[in-house]
Chain A
Amino acid sequence: MNIIMQLLGRLHPLIVHLPIGFIVLALILSWYDRKEKTFTNGIAISFLWGGITSVLACISGYLLYQTEGFSFDTIKIHLWSGIITAIFCFLAYARKKDAPRFIVFNRIRSGFYLLILFVLISITGHLGGSITHGEEYLVEPLPNSVKSLLGIEVFEKQEIILTEETWEEALLYDAIIHPILNNKCLSCHSSKKAKGELILQSPEAILRGGENGDVLVSNHPDKSALYTKLVLPLGDDDRMPPDGKTQLTKAEVRLISEWIERGNSFEKSNKELGINVELVKSFFPRKINNNYPDVYVEKVIAQFIDSIEAMNVYVEKINKESHFLSVTCINQPTFEDANFALFLPIAENISMLDLGTTRVTDAIFSELKKLPNLTVLKLDNTTITGENIKELTSLQHLKFINLASTQFKEANLSTFLEFQRLEKVFLHNTDIKAGNMKAFAAKEIKVDFGNYALPTIESDSIIF
């Protein structure tokens, strides 16, 4: 019996569309019926069946409420408005039929019934939809600006920003724990949704716990569901956030555990709680180490690139979005100093330039300094001696220079100390041997003299 009741209840979403159809049909027919009065009978039948199917919808709806465990509060308005809809259908039918027993209702204009019924099915339908799809179903796709105009609460991601100067003074809960919960948990555990009756929006709510009791046991992360569920294997039914949702990072999980272990204080700062700097390091602003400078350049005109590529020199964007370009002469070993003029129209955009294995000479340096954003420069396997390399000291962004297999002179080595942002120089297979590099180390410039070897060791000759 229960099964049949449950089954009938689940037919509710289907049945509800019948009264809607009949009532809308009656409304439309009434519109055509304004003067001619040819559809009166049809309208009456529509109202009658609208009423009958409304009753069926009410019964199946009631069964659904009984068998699926909805709370009465969530469905009560929907239920009552459904019942009233059914009653009004029969009243409208009686009005159309001019039933003598209902003489009181016949004095009211029939347009009134139509209006009331239209309002009723709109309200009932909307409430029903909100119960099945959730309150935010309709407004969810709206942009945030419209939502806030409508007075709907908007989910806002809270960036965790700490710096080396401020992290000690920041409150652990306010600066880190709350934003983590906000970004990764609140979409299900807010006062609006409260899955498992757990709300993680405020200190009080967190301490209140969920349907399975407390989620926090002070000083014992391994007994606190707030932590243990985070470290279950991905795919475990109890894992939080569940597979498919944005996961907490390792550092975030560690911090939640540390926070509980140190007594889940809501008021103490990182310093007072003795949080280690290693734990919060991942929230410090990242030092970006890219092969292009952090400045804006205009996009180049495609024609310039076409004319360069016609010379068999490849030009490619650093990445799909960037306007910076990487230029390589790998297919053009006959490239000479004189060809450099080709690059001038795109000079600002070149951040990586590969002139390795070409015919360029020391004269190229006075040209290269015209590339203000050059970051990576390859001049390996050329006849360069480094005579004019001083010219490049004006380049603010130059980080890497590859001079492997060139005739670079030891006398020019110290010029690198005058560069502004140089990080690495490759001098493999040149005549220079590593000398005293203290000055370079002080400026954090790595010079790789290469010529590595793997001397023979005893075990090389053993055959097992």
Chain B
Amino acid sequence: MDNFEKLIQEKIALEVEAKTRRHFIKQCATGIGGLALSSIFMGCDPFSSTPKQKIQFSPRDLNPLSTMAPPFSPKAKSVIYLHMAGSPSQLEMFDYKPILEKLDGQPCPDSLLRGKKFAFIKGKPKLLGPQAKFEQVGESGNWVSDNMPHFKKVVDDVAFLKAVNTDQFNHGPAQLLMHTGSPRIGRPSIGSWATYGLGSENQNLPGFVVLTSGGKAPSAGKSVWGSGFLPSVYQGVQCRSKGDPVLYIDDPKGISRNIKKSTIDAINKINKEEYTKYADPEILARINQYEMAYRMQIAVPNVMNIENEPENIKEMYGVEPGKESFANNCLLARKLVEDGVRFVQLFDWGWDSHGTGHQTALDLGFRNKCKDVDRPITALILDLKQRGLLDETLIVWGGEFGRTPMQENRGNQKMSFKGRDHHGDAFTMWMAGGGVKGGVSHGETDEIGFNGVEGRVSVHDVHATILHTLGFNHEEFTFDFQGRPFRLTDVHGHVIHEILA
């Protein structure tokens, strides 16, 4: 008797054992009732010519990641979302406020503070001038600080959103809002919506890959790349740039690839038998998942290996193979998008510049953080451009909120390092690539950068715009759950046409 038959025997034996008296009593009410119902409905169907109808499956039933055409012609095929977890200070990077410089050290006007809540600021905080030098660069003449010297080269490919606002001022909820459209857990992330709506071209790789750097995962946890109420196959797959890219991707010791193959074949054979019995498409999806996982064992380590990239590319990004770094992740993001991955999500932790120490001081640790991302981000844009991929890849950059124009005064005391508190009323994000106009700056903040005064956009507006570039109308892209259709933007959101080509 060969192994396969042995397995079948074992399965039958287990099934028989499982059928106890208790099982019969539990099942018979619904079981017999269901049988009766099915025969009643069978008689009701005026169109059934034969008693046994052939079940038709869509490609989606068999492979949940199979590609689907979007409702409208998309401008972008894939998305690379660069999230600076902790939220960088827009006032030291892109939002130049010369008047804030003059008002450095002055108390913040009461009118601005009335009714506001801050995470740490207490009492009467003082304004803090920009801790960087700014320069107008490129043909567009947009402002960039000396914290981002390389980035100045690509400023004409980028569309700034200078007055984004969020109603959350703590990291976890703000990150959830930024990635799922709701500050509470349970909604699918943007990447899940994108892979659910479009599928993924490469059948050997996951459609939604997440890469983290900076030593910590984002505060909101894995829900920021979760699939919420969408089928779990659409959740982000976290890959590591250090060690095995996916945990347990290697076969265990003593198991060869051939044994693995025959194991999967045997499991799939049983599953196919199961399928002929119950005709449940979930079983076919499961068969597909086993096969994809098997192919991924080869494809993922391959695409996640940056050692084989040419020297000049490695230098451009400033990669450090073998380590966990944002630069490595940027290069990986390009490789993944090149191989047809739909959504690549990068998180870089360590931007929470409160000024409680050297690491979080705006004139010290923060500048090191800027250095860590300046070169890789610039390289990513240039590299996508030269490969003809920038036209079909949307890059989104931002934090979960911005930072206050006031210096943080934790415990209502003067702090020895310069830092800023969380601030959601106005902050900067930018987009580049697929479908986005380069060299644009949309929105403006007031003289000290406290509030948006023109072109204010919400997190939902950003989501609507991302979906728009992928070919979706955010108001019509829905998933039915708990008795109503859900959207990424729920009941909000307007597409920001001003930055679209």
CA distance A290 to B72 in the complex (A): 11
Is there a chain A Cβ closer than 8 Å to B204's Cβ?
yes
- Binary contact track A315-350/B, C-beta < 8 Å → 1, others 0: 011111110000010110000000000000000000
A316 to B73, CA, bound (A): 12
A428 vs B391: C-alpha distance when bound (angstroms): 15
A327 to chain B, nearest CB (A): 11
Contact indicator A454/B382 (Cβ below 8 Å): yes
Interface string of B369-390 (1 = CB under 8 A from A): 0010001001100110111100
Within 8 A of A (CB), among B345-392: 363-365, 367-368, 371, 375, 378-379, 382-383, 385-388, 391
Which of the segments B10-18, B63-71, B230-238, B246-254 contacts the partner chain?
B63-71
Pick from A256-264, A271-279, A361-369, A445-453 the stretch touching chain B: A445-453
Q: Which residue of A lies closest to B378 (CB)?
A: A454
Instruction: Flag the segment in A163-171, A174-182, A456-464 that touches B.
Output: A456-464
Q: Which residue of A lies closest to B310 (CB)?
A: A429
Task: Name the CB-closest residue of B to A316.
Answer: B67
Query: In the assembly, what is the distance between CA of A316 and CA of B68, in Å?
Result: 7
Interface of A is mostly: loop
Q: Quick check: is B218 within 8 A (CB to CB) of the other chain? A: no
Tell me whether A331 and B150 are in contact (CB under 8 A): no
Decide if A452 touches B386 in the complex (CB within 8 Å): yes
Given known contacts A460-B375, A463-B368, A404 and B388 CB-to-CB distance under 8 angstroms: yes
Does B478 sit at the interface, judged by CB under 8 A? no
With known contacts A451-B386, A454-B378, A331–B70 Cβ distance under 8 A: no
Q: Closest CB of chain A to B454's CB: distance in Å? A: 11
Taking CB atoms, residues of chain A closer than 8 Å to B203 are: 312, 331
CA distance A140 to B316 in the complex (A): 64
With contact pairs A316-B67, A319-B69 given, residues A454 and B150 touching in the complex (Cβ less than 8 Å):
yes
**Are B371 and A452 in contact, with the CB atoms below 8 A?**
no
Contacts of B385 in A (CB 8 A): 448, 450, 452
For chain A residues 290-320, which have a beta carbon within 8 Å of chain B? 290-292, 312, 314, 316-320
Closest to B312 in A: A453
CA distance A317 to B67 in the complex (A): 10
Contact B73 A464 (CB under 8 A): no
Judge whether A378 is part of the interface by a CB distance below 8 angstroms. yes
Q: Is A10 an interface residue (CB 8 A)?
A: no
Taken together as a complex, chains A and B put the C-alpha atoms of A450 and B390 apart, in Å, by 12
Residues of A within 8 A of B367 (CB): 464
Pair A459/B386 contact, Cβ less than 8 Å? no
CA A205 to CA B48, docked complex, whole Å: 63
Selected contact of A380 from candidates B69, B73, B387, CB within 8 Å:
B387
Smallest CB separation, B472 vs chain A (Å): 10
B364 touches A464 (CB 8 A): yes
- Please, which residues of chain B bring their CB within 8 A of the CB of A250? 498
Write the nearest CB–CB distance from B455 to chain A, whole angstroms. 10
B201 in contact with A328 (CB, 8 Å): yes
| Other-chain contact of B388, A312, A321, A448 (Cβ < 8 Å) | A448
Quick check: is A47 within 8 A (CB to CB) of the other chain?
no
B364 → A minimal CB distance (Å)? 5
A65 within 8 A of B: no
B74 to A319, Cβ gap below 8 A? Answer: yes
Say yes or no: B388 contacts A316, CB within 8 Å. no
Q: Are B70 and A319 in contact (CB under 8 A)?
A: yes
Q: Does B471 contact A (CB under 8 A)?
A: yes
List the B side residues contacting A452 at CB < 8 Å.
316, 382-383, 385-386
Task: Evaluate contact between B73 and A404: CB separation under 8 angstroms.
Answer: no
Q: Which of B150, B202, B365, B382 contacts A464 (CB 8 A)?
A: B365
- Render A169-194 as a binary contact track against B, CB cut-off 8 A, 1 for contact: 00000000000000000000000000
Residues of A within 8 A of B501 (CB): 289
B153 is an interface residue with CB less than 8 A from chain A? yes
Contacts of B471 in A (CB 8 A): 319
In chain A between 236 and 259, which residues have their CB closer than 8 angstroms to a CB of chain B? 250
Q: In the assembled complex, which residues on chain B have CB atoms less than 8 Å from the CB atom of A460?
A: 371, 375
Identify whether the interface residues of B are mostly helix, strand, loop, or mixed.
loop
Q: Does A400 contact B (CB under 8 A)?
A: yes
B72–A319 contact, CB under 8 A?
yes
Instruction: Enumerate chain A residues within 8 angstroms of B74, measured Cβ to Cβ.
Output: 319
Give Cα A178 to B146, complex, Å: 50
Q: Name the contact of A450 in the complex, choosing from B71, B201, B364, B386 (C-beta under 8 A).
A: B386
- On whether the beta carbons of A454 and B72 are closer than 8 Å, the reply is no
Decide if B375 touches A317 in the complex (CB within 8 Å). no
What chain A residues lie within 8 Å of B364 (beta carbons)? 464
The residues of A that contact B153 with a CB separation of less than 8 Å are 454
**What are the interface flags for B143-167 relative to A under an 8 Å C-beta threshold, 1 for contact and 0 otherwise?**
0001001100100000000000000
Assembled-state Cα–Cα distance A314/B200 (Å): 11
A358 is an interface residue with CB less than 8 A from chain B = no
Residue among A321, A378, A459, A462 with the most chain B CB within 10 A? A459
The complex places the Cα of A35 from the Cα of B501 at a distance, in Å, of 81
User: Do B375 and A331 touch across chains, with their CB atoms under 8 A apart?
Assistant: no
Which residues of chain A have C-beta atoms less than 8 A from B365's C-beta? 464
Contact B339 A330 (CB under 8 A): yes
B281 adjacent to chain A (CB < 8 Å):
no
Shortest beta-carbon distance from B243 to chain A in Å? 26
B340 at the interface (CB under 8 A from A): yes
Interfacial chain A residues near B383, Cβ < 8 Å: 452
What's the least CB distance linking B72 to chain A, in Å?
Answer: 5
Q: Would you call A378 and B73 a contact (CB within 8 A)?
A: no
CB of B73 within 8 A of CB of A319, answer yes
Complex CA distance for A330 and B392, rounded to whole angstroms: 15
Separation of A290 and B75 alpha carbons in the complex (Å): 9
CA distance A415 to B312 in the complex (A): 30
Q: Is A229 an interface residue (CB 8 A)?
A: no
Residues of A within 8 A of B391 (CB): 400, 424
Q: Which of A290, A316, A448, A464 contacts B368 (CB 8 A)?
A: A464
CB pair B73 A318 closer than 8 Å: yes
Contacts of A320 in B (CB 8 A): 69-72
Contact A291 B316, beta carbon cutoff 8 Å: no
Is the CB of A402 closer than 8 A to any CB of chain B?
A: yes
> Which residues of chain B in 365-421 are interfacial with respect to chain A, using CB atoms and an 8 Å cutoff?
365, 367-368, 371, 375, 378-379, 382-383, 385-388, 391
User: Is the beta-carbon distance between B149 and A319 smaller than 8 angstroms?
Assistant: no
A459–B150 alpha-carbon span in the complex (Å): 10
Partner-A contacts on B (CB < 8 A): 67-74, 146, 149-150, 153, 201-204, 312, 315-316, 339-340, 363-365, 367-368, 371, 375, 378-379, 382-383, 385-388, 391, 471, 498, 501
List the 4 closest A-B pairs by CB distance, nearest first. Answer: A450-B386, A428-B386, A317-B69, A426-B388
Q: A452-B316, A459-B371, A462-B371 are in contact. List 9 more A-B contacts (CB 8 A).
A: A316-B67, A319-B73, A330-B202, A330-B340, A404-B388, A451-B312, A452-B383, A453-B316, A457-B149
Task: List 28 A-B pairs, Cβ < 8 Å.
Answer: A289-B501, A291-B73, A292-B73, A319-B69, A319-B72, A319-B73, A319-B471, A321-B71, A322-B73, A331-B202, A331-B203, A378-B388, A424-B388, A426-B386, A426-B388, A448-B388, A452-B386, A453-B315, A453-B316, A454-B150, A454-B316, A454-B379, A454-B382, A459-B146, A459-B149, A462-B371, A464-B363, A464-B367
